[in-house]
A and B are shown apart, each in its own frame.
Chain A
Amino acid sequence: AQSVTQLDSQVPVFEEAPVELRCNYSSSVSVYLFWYVQYPNQGLQLLLKYLSGSTLVESINGFEAEFNKSQTSFHLRKPSVHISDTAEYFCAVSHNQAGTALIFGKGTTLSVSS
């Protein structure tokens, strides 16, 4: 069985500060890894994904995550956050094939203040 642990339920930061949202997973099979973002009263939006290849993946809005197989982690980082990054962030894992369920962590609330 697969599981995801997001180590911080809430992360408060000031604008322009760096941030790291931690995610660890467990799985006995090869996996795909995802980060989704959820703004208030909206659905989940895919932020970035690791499917194969380079272990460092980036999004268009400055977030990056690194797949670390030995530590079974997929932490999300941004060097300088904006007020608009305030949202709920979910890490998810699935078996490495199409048509399988995503297993989500409980989420991390990122609150950016000025």
Chain B
Amino acid sequence: DTGVSQDPRHKITKRGQNVTFRCDPISEHNRLYWYRQTLGQGPEFLTYFQNEAQLEKSRLLSDRFSAERPKGSFSTLEIQRTEQGDSAMYLCASSPDWGAKNIQYFGAGTRLSVL
């Protein structure tokens, strides 16, 4: 069990470009979450998958944001037409479908800088 893996660790992009991040959850974890963390703030929930189904989306997830988990394993988060306000740490977490009562395990995050 290698933990939650996120790629890339850092992304620098120009305003208006599209970016995509990947998250590989802990194997056999059915539940996957995306959060965003800005400087000086705690993480804020973006969206949640159970297997391949996206069951919840935050109001923070504007139309420019889209997340997928096509086979119920890894997930991608895409931001279209990036804005400077999108600069943040994007965190992925996973949790099992059994037992563990919403204990979420986090990856190291992808830090996005929009110039």
Contact = CB atoms under 8 A, between A and B. Distances in A.
14 contacts: A34-B103, A43-B4, A43-B108, A44-B93, A46-B103, A51-B101, A94-B102, A98-B95, A98-B97, A98-B101, A100-B102, A101-B56, A102-B35, A102-B104
Contacts of A32: 101-102
Interface of A: 4, 32, 34, 36, 41-46, 49, 51, 90, 92, 94-107
B101 A36 contact: no
Contacts of A44: 43, 91, 93, 106
B102 A105 contact: no
Interface stretch (B44-52, B67-75, B79-87): B44-52
Nearest to B49: A99
A101 B106 contact: no
Contacts of B41: 106-107
B109 interface: yes
B31 A43 contact: no
Contacts of A96: 101-102
